[in-house]
Amino acid sequence: MMQALGEGISMGLLLSAMVGPVFFTLIQNSIEHGFKYAVAIAVGILISDFLYVLITYFGISLLTQFPNFEWYLSLLGGFVLTVFGISSFFKKVKDRPSTAGFPLSEARKRTGFIKGFGINGINPFVLLFWISIAGLVAIREEYNRYDIGIYYLGILLTVFLFDLLKAYVAKRLKVFITPRVMFLLNKMVGIALLLFGARLFWYAFTLGEKAA
């Protein structure tokens, strides 16, 4: 059990170290909307990852019956990230009243949750990651079902806790964030998301070339 937990935590650390759309989304929204809002995003990411765990572990054989699944998901992911990127790039910086110490409304909780769930869920590289994890688990003959559950739990909790840490650190640095810095951050986030979107479109193109 401890071996499975340790390996799960190690894999979770690897996933947490990857800089992708989720990383930029957490940092930007923690600075702009507060830590509580970023927590809602992190919960959305966690649930999205958990659903991918269920899909890949129990339905890996079913997904392989749809050879164009990755292609469609790549196109959808590229489109959504491009929209997010354009929106962030042209976003105007406004002075917002501090929400520190105030409870987050249910509507804003849902908005943050949906944002985290969506931006993580539409990224096919996240799906590919969990497919690879399911493949690794399948070849571990020494793992029983309990060990597998602990392994996945180690990954999910590690990623979730590090997402919270990223958001907390970004929030603590908010006092150093001037409107000018926020303006530049929005531009950087927009460009990063556009690049990730372009990467997904290119991935879809390569898949189409292989299928041709």
Copy the structure tokens of residue 164: 């919270």
Instruction: Give the pLDDT score at 169.
Output: 83
Ranked by mean pLDDT, which of 6-15, 77-86, 171-180 comes out on top? 6-15
Q: What is the residue-averaged pLDDT of the chain?
A: 77
Q: Domain-by-domain residue ranges, the chain?
A: 2-211
Confidence band, pLDDT 50/70/90 cuts, at residue 157: very high
Question: Mind listing the pLDDT tens digit for each residue in 98-117?
Answer: 444 445 677 777 888 888 88
Instruction: Give the pLDDT score at 93.
Output: 60
- 77/206: higher pLDDT: 206
What is the gyration radius of the CA atoms in the chain, in angstroms? 18
- 208 pLDDT higher than 60: yes
Question: Mind listing the pLDDT tens digit for each residue in 42-99?
Answer: 999 999 999 988 887 777 656 556 667 667 766 776 777 787 778 777 877 655 444 4
Position 50: which residue type?
F
Give the separation between CA 87 and CA 76, rounded to whole angstroms.
17
Q: Which of 18-27, 29-38, 200-209 has the lowest mean pLDDT?
A: 18-27
Instruction: Give the pLDDT score at 61.
Output: 52
**Residue pair 155/15 in contact by the 8 Å Cβ criterion:** yes
Query: What is the CA 156 to chain-centroid distance, rounded?
Result: 12
